[in-house]
Every structure is written in C-alpha cells, then in structure tokens.
Chains A and B, each alone.
Chain A
Amino acid sequence: MRIKHDSSAVNSDMIRRPIQRWAPLFLVPMVAAFLIGFVWPFFHGLFLSFCKFKTTSNWEWVGISNYEKALQDQSFMYSFGFTAVFAVVSLVLINVFAFAVAYALTQKIRGANLFRTVFFMPNLIGGIVLGYIWSMIFDGFLGYYQTSILMDKEWGFWGLIILTCWQQIGYMMIIYIAGLQAVPEDMLEAAKIDGANGWQTLFKVTIPNVMPSITICTFLSLTNGFKLFDQNLALTGGYPFEINPDASVVRTTEMLALNIYNTFYGQNTASRGVAQAKAVLFFILVATLAIAQLTATRKKEVQQ
C-alpha cells in the first residue's frame, strides 16, 4: 500500500525513515500515557462490567447479570428519562437563543464585541462553582417563600436548565457567529436585489448556509446534556429524594452521570459491577450520538 513510485513518495521517504528512528522520543511517551490513562482503564472497565467486584483485584465473573440489574434498576431508568428530557429541552433552548443572539450580533449592532465577551464569560467558570453560585441565587429567591431548590424536583429541573442555558448559550453563540460570518455576502446581496424580505433571507439563504454549525451545536448541546455532572452535583445533588414502597430510593433530579457515580461510590459497595455496567451503557449511548452526528455531517457535506 505504501509502495508508490512517484517522486513525492520518494521524497516523503526521505523524511519518514529518519523520523521513525526517533519514535522512542516522539511517539512512545504519548502512547505510554494513553495506554495508562485511557486504553487500559477502558478495557479493564469493560471487563469488570461482567464481574462482581468491590476492588479491582477481587473479582468474580458473573456474565451479563450486571446489565440485567442495571436495566431493572428503577433509579437508573428514572435518571435516564430525566436526563433525556433535560437534554432535549436544553438543546432547544440553547440553540434557539444562541442562534438568535449570534444573528443579532452579526447585524452590526452597537457594542457587539462587548456583548459577545459578556455572553461567553460563564464558560470560563467551572461547573462546581457555577452550581454553587446559582444555588445561592435560586435559594435567595425561594427563601422568600420559605423553601429551597432542593425541595421540589420541578425547580431542580428548571434550575438546571437555566444554569445550563446561562453557561452554554455563549459557547454555541461563538460557533454560530463563525458560521454566520462565512455566509457569502453576494448571496445575501442577491436575495436583497430579488426582493426577499428579512425572514425570507433568513430561512432561504442564511439558515441553509449555516447548517454545518447547526449540526455541530445541536449534537454538542445534546451530548453535553447527557454528560452533565458537575453542575448537577453542585446545584441539586439529586435532591429531593423519593422513597418507593419497596424502600428503594429515587433521587428525583439525578442525571445519568451522577447516578453512575452514586452507584459506584455509594454505601453499597456490592453494586460496583452494576455501576460499571451502567457506565458501559452510558458510553454506548454517548458514542451512538457521536456516530449519528458524524453521519449527519457527512450527509450535509455531500449535499452541498
């Protein structure tokens, strides 16, 4: 496959051979860290999802029973539903607002740079800190009614939505601005000359041209929604809890990542196998979204 007889191949061979001798310096350190920090933990985790274990050295093969238990776990299924609804609602809100803001900011309004700076700012602050800042604000409001965000799952849900929107609108806005600035000027000009009004130009010219940005932002916000952890832990921590008749506990604002975390590191260390199985399912879900995104982007590229 590498044997090409054109001159460029000969030339690149002149580069390739000497570089290969330097592999111990150039490639090995990164690969070694990658094996330690990713490859080994990944396959080890995959293996342990079929085992019963408390520590990694003390395991017993149990086949797919962890997966069965995970799928029968009410709290896991609940958190899946909660996360899915959360991800879709936040996806819609974030993208609508981010696009609207980006569109307005590219219309040469006064102070556009300042606004862009302000809207992007929350992205620099970590999830844990953001969670506590907003928990203070929500509780400040709800305190007037002698209650707290930890008391009602509806508040918890919308609190998380507000926090996520506040954080991510600025991020998506940046991507949309880049997309909008790449819309060919002459196309907009032509639409104007042909007598298209603002809405027609927006839907017939601008939006089709920023479809790649829309795909990226849609999937990014969806994946972010599914993977949300720090903000969830800091803002609601899963509260309020509901206790089922069978004494099992459902944390009503607990999202998938937090549910997996709590299963791993909760009181019941016997459930670590189940937790690892949940983590594998979670990985499959996130990877599927990524593959869907890839296919969607590829399709768009072919069409254009």
Chain B
Amino acid sequence: MKGSFQKEKLGKNLTTVLFILLSIFYVFPVLMVVINSFKVNTFVKTDTFGWPTGESFAEFNNFITGMTFGGYPFAQSVVYSIVITILGTALILVFTSMAAWYISRVDSLVCRIVYYGCVFSMVVPFQMVMFTLSKTADTLKLNTPWTIPVIYLGFGAGLAVFMFVGFVKGIPLDIEEAAAIDGCNPFRTFFSVVLPMMKPTLISVAILEIMWIWNDYLLPYLVLDRTEYRTIPIHIQYLKGSYGTVDLGATMALILLSIIPVIIFYLTCQKHIIKGVAAGAVKG
C-alpha cells in the first residue's frame, strides 16, 4: 500500500516537471517577441534566440520607429480596434439579447424563421459571403469604424441569439408575469427584470465577441476603407506583407504592444473567459 502511494506521488511530481517544461514551450514564443522587440532589425533574423546586448541592443528605438512605421500611425489603429470592438460588442449584446427574448416569448412563425436563420448562419464560413458582404457594406456606407459594428451585429448575430435563446427558455415565466401584473411594460420588464438574470450569458457572449472582433482580420480588411482605417491586425499584416524592407525589430515591438493589453485582459478576466469559451463551444 505504502509503495503504491509513493509511486503515485512520484508520478504526480513527474507530471508537474513535464508540465513545467511544456509551459516553457508555451511561453517561449511570447518571450521571443519581448526579446526581439529590443533587438536591432538585422539581428532579429540572424540571432533570433540571442539576448540583445551591445550592438544588437536597440533600446527603445523599435518602439519609437514602430509608432509611425509603415506610413501609418500605430496609435490610430489601436484607437480604431478599440472603437470597433467596444461598439460591435455593445450592439451585439443589446440587440441580440432583446431579439432572443422576443423570439422565445412570442414564438411566432417569423420568430422561428429568424431563429433557424441564425442557427444556419453559424455554419456558414466567411468566405461564402465575403465578396458580396464587402460590396453591400460599401453601398450602405458601413465601411467606417463607427458603422462597421452593424456588420458585426449582422454577421455575428447567430451565436449570440442562439446562446441567449437557450438561456431565456430556462427562465420561468412567473417572474415576467408578476412584473406584467405589477404594471411593467415589456421594455421595463426586459431591462429591469430579464436582463439582470441574463448576466452570466451576457458575460460569456461578451467575451466571445470581444475575442472575435479584436482579433478579426479579414472582415475589417475587406470592409473598411483601408487607406484611412486600419485595425491592429490589418496594420501588422501591412507591415509584414508589404514589399520592400521589413523592419522586423519594429514589427516585433508593435506585436508586443498589441498583445500586452490582451494578456492583461486575460489575466484579469480569466475566470469569465474560460467559462465563456466553454459555454460557447458546448452550445456551438
């Protein structure tokens, strides 16, 4: 008995060691970004894994050149990314939760068509609609950071409506009936009774939409007027994809700047993020 207990303990310690090694492998790429963002351009390619010292150490020059690198101010793309992510997520949360409540309470033929349309849209890859969608967006002037959230609401409605309807169906009607008897109109019933109950799903959906919109590349690339508006992924793609000399040091500096907020967001909201992802995957 004692032997097997020790064996088990040894096994667990070995697993821990193995996982520490695996964690190093996981952190390694990010660490390389940090190191190389302080390296002089030519050394990023020739001495990727070396520590920046002496002539290869660039101090903060990569960050300074990175700010205006590629003929476009990086700060501007950060602002656009933030605007699009916040507006897009807010629009999706407000309008799909309202629609989901309407769909599951009214449950008419139209509601069912909309609901199954949403479910259907979840399996359609973006390539299927990308050409026509970007043309529609152009025609309707939805090609600016302030209007592209409408496109996100339309294309991203599927998952959100699906998740909200699933949740609303589980809320007992009695509460809303009580609110109605007490004289609440549907608007008040929804915003002061139903919406607070939806909080867990609201957080899950918000997390999924933020992760999607913040990192999305192809949709804004095709929809936005790229000479004026670039989000962070578009900006980084332009830096590396453009012909001519590529300043790898500056690119790494910008990549570092773009993942720092993401990692802070992750570490502060980790619990919600993991819960949201699990909920989204199980339902989708």
Residues of chain A having any CB pair with chain B under 8 Å: 2, 8, 11-12, 14-16, 18-23, 25-27, 29-31, 33-42, 44-45, 48, 55-56, 101, 104, 107-111, 114-129, 132-137, 139-141, 143, 166, 171, 174-175, 178, 216, 220, 227, 229-230, 233-234, 237, 257, 260-261, 264, 272, 275-276, 279-280, 282-283, 286-287, 290
Contacts and interface: CB of A to CB of B under 8 A. Distances in A.
Given A36-B150, A136-B33, A140-B48, 19 more contacts: A19-B101, A19-B186, A20-B106, A25-B98, A26-B186, A27-B102, A36-B140, A36-B151, A56-B132, A104-B19, A107-B15, A119-B22, A125-B259, A126-B214, A128-B237, A129-B233, A178-B278, A279-B130, A280-B128
B198 interface: no
B131 A128 contact: no
B258 interface: yes
B116 interface: no
Interface of B: 12, 15-16, 19, 22-23, 26-30, 32-33, 36, 44-46, 48-49, 91, 95-96, 98-99, 101-103, 105-108, 110-111, 114, 117-118, 121-133, 135-136, 140, 142, 150-158, 161, 173, 176-177, 180, 185-187, 190, 211, 214-218, 232-233, 236-237, 240-241, 248, 251-252, 255, 258-259, 262-263, 265-267, 270, 273-274, 277-278, 281-282
Contacts of B103: 27
6 contacts: A15-B173, A42-B129, A55-B135, A128-B237, A136-B252, A234-B237
A12 B171 CA distance: 13
B114 A31 contact: yes
B151 A109 contact: no
Contacts of B48: 136-137, 139-141, 143
Nearest to A19: B186
Nearest 3 interchain pairs by C-beta = A37-B154, A140-B48, A126-B215
Given A109-B15, A171-B281, A220-B281, A30 B23 contact: no
B237 A227 contact: no
Contact of B132 (A44, A140, A287): A44
Contact of A276 (B49, B123, B131): B131
Given A109-B19, A118-B27, A22 B186 contact: yes
A287 B44 CA distance: 43
A234 B19 contact: no
B95 A230 contact: no
A139 B102 CA distance: 53
Given A48-B132, A109-B15, A127-B217, A282 B26 contact: no
Contact of A230 (B32, B157, B218): B218
Given A35-B154, A122-B26, A123-B211, A42 B105 contact: no
A211 B211 CA distance: 28
A237 B241 CA distance: 9
Nearest to B184: A18
B102 A26 contact: yes
A19 B102 CA distance: 7
Contacts of B111: 27
Contact of B127 (A12, A22, A122, A261): A261
A214 to B, nearest CB: 13
Contacts of A166: 26, 29
A45 B153 contact: no
A32 to B, nearest CB: 8
A123 B124 contact: no
Contact of A134 (B29, B186, B187): B29
A136 B16 contact: no
A50 to B, nearest CB: 13
B236 A129 contact: yes
B231 to A, nearest CB: 10
A129 B133 contact: no
A16 B133 contact: no
B106 A120 contact: no
Contacts of B185: 18, 22
A30 B173 contact: no
B4 to A, nearest CB: 11
